[in-house]
A and B are shown apart, each in its own frame.
Chain A
Amino acid sequence: MSAAISPLEQMVVVLARDLADGELGAAGAAALVPMAAIALARELHAPNLTVGGEMFFNPEPGRLYPSMLDDRALGRCEAAETFIELFGHSHHGLEFFFHSGLQHDAYGNINLHHVGGTLHAPKVRGPGAANLSYCHTSTRFYICPTLHTTRNFVEKVDFVTIPGHLSGPEAKRVAGLTNEGPRFVVTPRAVLDFDPATLRMRLKSVHAGHTAAEVQRHTGFDLGITQNVPQTPLPTEEELTALRERIDKTGTLRA
């Protein structure tokens, strides 16, 4: 592989490696990176992974689309459902799901409603979110924003649209969030996970070409970096070949 690995390709590979054979999951609203990760996992190590829970099963898009709720992407799929079945899936939960938002905070809570002001008098109104259930009825979810700045990584979100770990283990218990919640965060700069004791976000690894100091500089809260941070394992030849030749033939992840 001659071309340099793009930040989105690195994100896709990190996510794909964490998806297991036989699982049921869906991509969420901003689907480009998650759908590529699901496709890569199915291609390489999880042929029995089922994509479902969003009104279609196992789509075979000819290329990557920014939204999965696009019939060009779904035209070829194994079966279709409706919002009635989505109501059931939302209660039963999936194995994995993906989220990202306008703001993400130190406990993995996500805001899609407003920045500044109040809900009904917002300084900046966001899009809101359709499904608020998969984040806690599913076994786990991943946070994968395609930007990583002090503006979208803040100490505390202005509005909790998608609960992550709230303010830690006790708050999660009180709210009845009994599943794992956000497992890790992957951005174009780094992988971040959560301290098992406090559930606060910390830096796990930095992607090639990035440094821990740089990630901290672009994060609006203290990542508590005290030691050398490892580099995120690079995509293998096999992963890159599958990704570029079979999943992302049009190079959307490198655009």
Chain B
Amino acid sequence: MELRKQQDPNIAHEIPDEWFTPKNKDERAAEAVVRPSLSYWKDAWRRLLKNKLAMAGSLFLVLLAIMAIIGPMISPHGVSQGNLVNQNLPPSSEYWFGTDELGRDIFARTWYGARISLFVGIVAALIDFIIGVIYGGVSGYKGGRTDHLMMRFIEVLYGLPYLLVVILISVVMGPGLFTIIFALSVTGWVGMARIVRGQVLQLKNHEFVLASKTFGTKTPRIIRKNLLPNTMGPIIVQMTLTVPSAIFAEAFLSFLGLGIQPPLASWGSMANDGLSSILSGHWWRLFFPALFISLTMFSFNVLGDGLRDALDPRLRG
């Protein structure tokens, strides 16, 4: 008991008498400490900026995109223009990344490959997004029997081995860029549709949506303030992670000879061409396409991870 501070009249009297006056109401309200609340997007942005790996990934992707546009132009050699005299030259000031067995400039071909990879990745992600949002949105919004049937169909598609289907379609339609994108889109949207449906179901009758309605909040505001932050997060992340898997699929098909056809270049077909160079020691023919596929996929993956961490409202701290 002795440990506890008793009200000691002597100490208490050190508190001046004039403090014993009623407190003004307004003054009291002002004293309530209010922590500055960050908006959802600002907060997410702040978290993303703090993620060094994700930032490094984005920087690489920006540089890659710039080089994909201007790279083939600043190279003095054409993409498919070969010169057998210059075959299998190591990297030099003339050919920065060396040449391949047909004397083509690997520097120019690498940036052309970047165009193909980025194009395939982004277009595939966009198509997945469009189909997925429509399919998943309708399924989740309609609910009931429609939802049940639509989900059964997705289950069947989900059971299909994705790359096998892509290979089959490529065989049937003949190789090419359009084929690859088409083949990737046939099964690729399933994941997105599932996510969208889940989000829609969850949000449709969610309490905070209902609460906003009850308070008479206008519809666009509900969408912007409540639905978007909660729905867009997983969708953005899914899109970001679709890109590397599409880039991989393109490279994989091209590596098997089912993708981009010569004389055009894709990282996958360049790696396939470079395969024979393993034994001959022309390492640069394999190294550059391999390096750029890996770096690009790595960048998209870390960016996707960073976005997931940044956009997950449950992780807000």
Same complex origin of A and B = no
